[in-house]
Amino acid sequence: MKIWGGGLCDYPEEFYDCNGDCLLDTDLDNVCDELDNCPENYNPFQEDFDFDDVGDACDGLSLNEAQQKRKLIRITDILGRDTQEDGKEKIRLYIYDDGWVERKIKLLK
Ligand SMILES: [Ca+2]
Ligand SMILES: [Ca+2]
Ligand SMILES: [Ca+2]
């Protein structure tokens, strides 16, 4: 995202005025409503852990909550074969009932 740097104002950045201020910024985090992944939550860094374009600040779940709410339905290896929690595969995929997939990488001891 580019931020208008001031000076000439022939072509202000979309959604910004000539001063680099948002035309609309409900939560005052300097990310314009049109670009803000949480228009009503102050989150200047636009964190979005699961990349669904809804920011963490308003995604309705924190990481901890998410893990508590979800139910683990399968553990597979990288090729989609079922494995176990203590499997020896280096990378395991934890598949949850809401479609969430968590990748766990086993550290070598
Ligand atoms: Ca904003
Ligand atoms: Ca925001
Ligand atoms: Ca999100």
pLDDT at 38: 96
Domains of the chain: 1-60 (4.10.1080.10), 71-105 (no CATH)
Tell me the pLDDT tens digit for each residue of 45-95: 999 988 899 999 998 765 555 556 788 999 999 899 999 888 777 899 999
Q: Quick check: 59 and 44 in contact, CB under 8 A?
A: no
Q: 28 C-alpha vs ligand 2 centroid, how far in Å?
A: 7
**Position 109 pLDDT exceeds 90:** no
Residue 37 phi, psi dihedral angles, 5° rounding? -80, -5
Q: Which ligand is nearest to the CA of 22?
A: 1
Average pLDDT of the chain to the nearest whole number: 83
pLDDT at 90: 86
Q: 1 C-alpha vs ligand 2 centroid, how far in Å?
A: 14
pLDDT at 55: 93
**Position 4 pLDDT exceeds 80:** no
Residue 74 phi, psi dihedral angles, 5° rounding? -150, 155
Tokens, residue 1: 């995202």
Q: pLDDT band at 8, cuts 50/70/90?
A: low
pLDDT at 77: 93
Could you tell me the pTM of the whole model?
0.46
Q: Which ligand is nearest to the CA of 41?
A: 2
